[in-house]
Chains A and B, each alone.
Chain A
Amino acid sequence: MKFITAILLTGLLGFSAGVMPFLPWWGFALTSLLVAILVHQKAGKAFLSGFLGLFLLWGGLAWWIDQGNQGILSHKMAEILPLGGNSYLLILLTAIVGGLVSGLAALSGSFARARRQH
Chain B
Amino acid sequence: MRLIPFAVSAAAAAGLIFVLNRPLGPAPPLGKLLSPHTGFWQNAEPAGASFDADLQLEGLKGMAEVYFDERLVPHVFAENNEDLYFIQGYLHARFRLFQMDLQTRAAAGRASELAGPRAIEYDREQRRLGMVFAAENAVREIEKDPASRLIFDAYTKGVNAWISSLREADMPLEYKLLDSKPEKWTNLRSALLLKMMAKMLSSGTENDLAYTNAKSVFMPDELRRLYPQVHDSLVPIIPKGTVFPAPAIVPVPPASADSLYIGRRDTVKMKEISRPDPNNGSNNWVVAGSKTASGAPILCNDPHLELSLPSIWYEIQLQNKESNAYGVSLPGTPFVIIGFNDSIAWGVTNAQRDVKDYYEIKFRDASKKEYWFNGNWEKTEPREEIIHVKGQSPVTDTVYYTVFGPVMYDDRFTNDAAASRNLAVRWVAHDPSNEGKTFFWLNRARNYDEYEKAIRDFQCPGQNFIFASKTGDIAIWQQGKFPARWDRQGLYVMPGEDSSYMWQGFIPQTENPHARNPERGFLESANQRPADSTYPYFIPGSYITPRGITIENKLSGMSGIKPQDMMALHNDYFNTLAEDAREILAANVKENELDANARRYLDILRGWDLMAGPDSKGQTVFQCWWDSLETEIWKDELTRVHPQAPWPEEQTTMELLKKDTALRYIDNISTARTETLADIVTLSLKKAAQELLQKEKEGKLEWSLFKNPTVYHLIKDLKPFARPGLPVGGNGNIINAITHSHGPSWRMIVHLTDQTEAWGVYPGGQSGNPGSRFYDNFVDPWAAGKYHKLWFMRPGDRTDKNVKWVIRLQPAG
Query: Chain A interface (Cβ within 8 Å of chain B)?
Result: 18-19, 21, 24-26, 29, 33, 43, 58, 61-62, 65-66, 68-70, 72-77, 79-80, 85, 93-94, 97-98, 100-101, 104-105, 107-108, 111-117
Contact = CB atoms under 8 A, between A and B. Distances in A.
Nearest to A19: B37
Contacts, number: 125
A112 B771 contact: no
Given A21-B168, A68-B47, A80-B720, A97 B30 contact: yes
Interface in B704-735: 718-721
A90 to B, nearest CB: 8
A66 B36 CA distance: 10
A33 B1 CA distance: 14
B12 A112 contact: no
11 contacts: A18-B36, A21-B167, A24-B21, A25-B38, A26-B21, A58-B35, A65-B42, A72-B773, A94-B36, A98-B34, A101-B20
A72 B2 CA distance: 47
Interface in B17-46: 17, 20-21, 30-32, 34-46
B9 A111 contact: yes
B13 A29 contact: yes
Interface string B660-703: 00000000000000000000000000000000000000000000
A13 to B, nearest CB: 13
Contacts of B167: 21
B9 A65 contact: no
Nearest to B775: A72
A18 B20 CA distance: 16
Nearest to B717: A80
A101 B13 contact: yes
B37 A25 contact: yes
Nearest to A102: B13
B84 to A, nearest CB: 32
B13 A104 contact: yes
A98 B32 CA distance: 10
Given A58-B36, A111-B5, A72 B13 contact: no
A74 B44 contact: yes
Contacts of A58: 34-36
A107 B2 CA distance: 11
Given A68-B46, A105-B13, A111-B9, A73 B35 contact: no
B770 interface: yes
Name the residue in A62, A80, A113 with the highest tally of chain B Cβ atoms < 10 Å from its Cβ: A80
B1 A108 contact: no
B16 interface: yes
Q: What are the 5 A-B residue pairs with the smallest beta carbon separation, nearest first?
A: A73-B771, A18-B37, A104-B13, A68-B46, A69-B44
B1 A111 contact: yes
Contact of A62 (B30, B41, B45): B41
User: Looking at chain A's contact residues, is the secondary structure mostly helix, strand, loop, or mixed?
Assistant: helix
Name the residue in A33, A66, A69, A116 with the highest tally of chain B Cβ atoms < 10 Å from its Cβ: A69
A73 B40 contact: yes
Given A68-B47, A73-B40, A80-B718, A101 B5 contact: no
B260 interface: no
Given A76-B720, A116-B1, 10 more contacts: A18-B35, A26-B17, A33-B13, A61-B37, A72-B773, A73-B770, A85-B720, A94-B34, A115-B2, A117-B2
Nearest to A20: B37
A21 B166 CA distance: 11
Nearest to A75: B720
B48 A68 contact: yes
Contacts of B16: 100-101, 104
Nearest to B41: A65
A109 to B, nearest CB: 9
Nearest to B4: A111
Name the residue in B36, B41, B177, B770 with the highest tally of chain A Cβ atoms < 10 Å from its Cβ: B36
Nearest to A15: B37
B484 to A, nearest CB: 52
Contacts of B31: 25-26, 97, 101
A77 B48 CA distance: 20
Contacts of A65: 36, 41-42, 44, 46
B380 interface: no
A65 to B, nearest CB: 5
A100 B39 CA distance: 17
B719 A79 contact: yes
A69 B13 contact: no
A15 to B, nearest CB: 8
Name the residue in B31, B32, B41, B177 with the highest tally of chain A Cβ atoms < 10 Å from its Cβ: B41
B10 interface: yes
B414 interface: no
Given A25-B31, A72-B771, A73-B43, A97 B1 contact: no
Contacts of B9: 104, 107-108, 111
A36 to B, nearest CB: 10
Contacts of A70: 47, 773
Nearest to A68: B46
A54 to B, nearest CB: 10
B772 interface: yes
Given A58-B35, A101-B13, A69 B771 contact: yes
A74 to B, nearest CB: 7
A114 to B, nearest CB: 5
Contact of A61 (B21, B32, B36, B177): B36
A68 B10 CA distance: 36
A43 B720 CA distance: 42
A10 B34 CA distance: 18
Interface string B32-72: 10111111111111111000000000000000000000000
Contacts of A114: 1-2, 5
Contact of A94 (B41, B47, B168, B775): B41
A79 B6 contact: no
A25 B30 CA distance: 11
Contacts of A115: 2
Contacts of B30: 97
Nearest to B718: A80
Contacts of A104: 9, 12-13, 16
A61 B569 CA distance: 49
B34 A93 contact: yes
A112 B44 contact: no
Contacts of B720: 75-77, 79-80, 85
A79 B720 CA distance: 6
Contacts of A19: 37
Contacts of A105: 13
Contacts of B35: 18, 25, 58, 98
Interface string B191-219: 00000000000000000000000000000
Contacts of A79: 719-720
A55 to B, nearest CB: 12
A111 B47 contact: no
Contacts of B38: 18, 25
Contact of A72 (B37, B177, B772): B772
A84 B464 CA distance: 47
Name the residue in B20, B42, B775 with the highest tally of chain A Cβ atoms < 10 Å from its Cβ: B20
A101 B13 CA distance: 6
A88 to B, nearest CB: 14
Contacts of A74: 44
A74 B771 CA distance: 8
Contacts of B10: 108, 111
B6 A111 contact: yes
Contacts of A77: 40, 720
Interface in B738-795: 770-773, 775
B717 to A, nearest CB: 9
Contacts of B44: 65-66, 68-69, 72-74
A17 to B, nearest CB: 8
Contacts of B43: 73
Interface string B90-127: 00000000000000000000000000000000000000
A17 B191 CA distance: 42
